[in-house]
Chains A and B, each alone.
Chain A
Amino acid sequence: MSDKKKRYHSLIEENIGIIRKLSRGYTNGEEDFEDTVQEVCLQLWRSFDSFRGDSKASTWVYRVTLNVCLSLLKRRKRVELVPTEQGVLHQVVEAQGDHGQQDPQIDQLYRAINTLAPIDRAIIMLYLDKLEHAEIAEIVGLGVSNVGVKINRIKKKLKKIIHG
């Protein structure tokens, strides 16, 4: 196995959680989800040589994943604001893997995230992944203060959707 391939595999293994979580926030069915994950992996391979290590590897993965998700969303031209019950449940079961049990709260959270505007989904998922405001701002291309304001608004909106 070539050195590049080894480094690529290790990057994917370390960041697969990021790829899957972000992809899940932008897709409604298992097929779309798998396709998005595959597309992200391919895009990461293609631009692997251009990654110079100026930022953290995870930041770069977040950025590439987000770009792929947004461009696929645009290409599909079918942004369903409320995903189907079956679609989301299926994804959550997949995400549980060997744990076997589905968590209705995670299901509900993803369903709520899927109702947000595309860029808001990215902001809240990055925030929930415990990224600093500055890092989120760098990834989504917004100002730091703007990100802070947006996070508060999105959190309120999500709580309202989830708690009713």
Chain B
Amino acid sequence: MAELEDIWAEQPQETIEEHTVDNYLQSKSTSELRLFERIIRIELGVGSVLLISSIWWLAGMPDVLKGMMMFILWFSTMLAGLTLWRIKKITFQSDVKAYLDRSLRFFQAYLASFSLSAATILVATAILVKQAREPQASWGEWLMGTQGQNLLLVTGLIASIMTVYALLLYVPRITRLKHLLRELEEEVV
């Protein structure tokens, strides 16, 4: 029986083609992005549920307002889901650079639409609650009253949670996507 060293040395010299290495980088980058896709899908669901729960928590809210908020949330969720589906469709037809580019746009668009929906809901809440409870009072008086103060408190709380949520979860991903895109632009893949 040969010595360990001799057996090991008998292994053939290995080579690798340039395009194989390029394929390695490309497929790994794509699989990372697919993971992002899965994560955002989960976040989309969890985020929407959290937002609905927060708004539901507002006491004394008229049923018509609840219905309106549900519709806005449903609409923005559908829109984000549709965008995601379109990205997935494009992925199989296009190259990785186009995919990255679209993913980046999606993340940014999702973040913007999420913030916009939240802002719309909060402003609508303020207007409708004031009109339903104290239509005669001026905005200044109402905001200084108990209802206005409570609403401002809840609004601030939701806005803070959403800001932290966006900063912690989306910004690092967008940064990472930008980095991957820059690498591609430098003819890495």
Contact = CB atoms under 8 A, between A and B. Distances in A.
B13 A38 contact: no
Nearest to A37: B24
B157 to A, nearest CB: 37
Interface string A20-59: 1100000000000000011101100100000000000000
Contacts, number: 69
Interface stretch (B3-11, B81-89, B103-111): B3-11
B188 A17 contact: no
B4 A41 contact: no
A58 to B, nearest CB: 14
A142 interface: no
A109 B7 contact: yes
Interface stretch (B15-23, B72-80, B145-153): B15-23
Given A38-B28, A45-B25, A155-B4, A5 B188 contact: yes
Contact of B15 (A13, A155, A159): A13
Contact of B7 (A9, A95, A106): A106
Contacts of A42: 24-25, 28-29
Given A38-B27, A38-B28, A45-B25, A95 B8 contact: no
Interface of A: 1-2, 4-5, 8-9, 12-13, 16-17, 20-21, 37-39, 41-42, 45, 95-97, 99, 103, 105-106, 108-109, 124, 128-129, 155, 158-159, 162-163
